[in-house]
Structure 1
Amino acid sequence: MVAKRGRLDRFISKACQISLRQVKPLLAQGQICVDGQWVSDAALQIDSFSTISCQGQLLQERQRVYRMLHKPVGVVSATEDPIHRTVLDLIDGPAIPGLHLAGRLDLNSTGLMLLTNDGRWSKRLSAPETKVAKHYRVGVTHPITPDYIQAFAAGMYFEFEDSTTAPVILTIVADRVADLVLTEGKYHQIKRMFGRMGNPVLSLHRFRIGGLYLNGGPDADRTSPLATDLAEGQWRDLTASELGLFVD
């Protein structure tokens, strides 16, 4: 889903069904426009979000889309599923080619999800090296004792991935409720970590990604940009200031 880059002349040749040799005079005559600029460089690198026209004819125009959604229980984090409703099924309006999930939540988990058609953005957001923090509120079966704090901070080794989890910040909120901060997202990581402690998870809700909060969030810094309240199943586009929270 990453927007692949390529040469402008090859794109024009394919889009207009002409030879590369025929593209050259069009460039020399100033007949090709990319993102509002007349260009003459045949090797100019373009991608699927470049707006391109040739001799006044629009060949490509695709806008980047960035959305947030409040996922309910019972909705699967996938683009399609033969049994359950998917996150994309909650998005009304015309279908957007390439729209996908930037991160996932389990079927019975709830909370903040991000969607985009910009593969570079979602890849960067999910990459471990970027260390974008995800915040969760977790309800469990048995009381959470202070020793959990050190166990989660030290990390846990999982044979499935043959790796140890990065440090997780655990804050005890109530007898059976904790807030967690993760900078990675291994398969069912939170449930597996509590499972290692012999304490099954009953509820899992993600309320924050980076500086973006869902409905304020229990630890919201009120001086930071906050997300507009979204009921379960609702979505909206990110504002420019919210999108700026994820720009290096």
Structure 2
Amino acid sequence: MNTETQTVDLSTLTADQLQAELKRRQLAENEKALKAKKVYESDNEDFIINAVSKAKQLRRELDEFKKITIKQANDLYIRMYHLEGKEPKEVKTFSRINKAGDMKVTVDMQERFAFTDEAEVHIDAIQDIFKNKFQDRNKGFYRVWEKTMMRNGKGEFDPKLLAKARTEVRELGDDELISRFDKLDECQTVIGSSLYCRIYARDDKNKWQDISLNFSSL
């Protein structure tokens, strides 16, 4: 059916012709809207497929870039010692800096910690001590301390945060708490490690700025 837009003088039409013309115009509008929707759906599909495909490609390239960069940095670190006739030191982090001192590549190994089952006993005891000492005196302080000093964003007890809390407790000088935190520290165990590669360049103020490859930071 030909529903293309046509110029028609409605005043010259009979009632039946007018009804037919209005119907034709409605069909033309519907067809136009349908075509626009199909074009939109096609463009949307192409956009998503292309964006995801490109992201996967960049992820593969970044993974490969990270592996190559860490390997080359390690090789250069070892060669630096061998040139001096020495054996390289085993370190968790080291950097390679250019002669001008305005670019830097840092390789960092971070260990991942977890608590043994015994840790629950000491964590419960620490909570009870803080509850007895501070909850009645300052409920707001107690809630803030527990949430910010001991638990991470997921609400789980975090070894790093607990280590920080241990330092704060030592400053309080409470022997009972210090003893519990020391025992809790002994319950930490290394469950693995991760290698990180960070690249820096100095800015106009001569400060190191991380060249982030995180998509969300761009």
| TM-score, reference length from structure 2 | 0.24
Higher relative contact order (CA 8 A, sep 6+): 2
Query: Larger C-alpha radius of gyration, 1 or 2?
Result: 2
Q: TM-score, normalised by structure 1?
A: 0.22
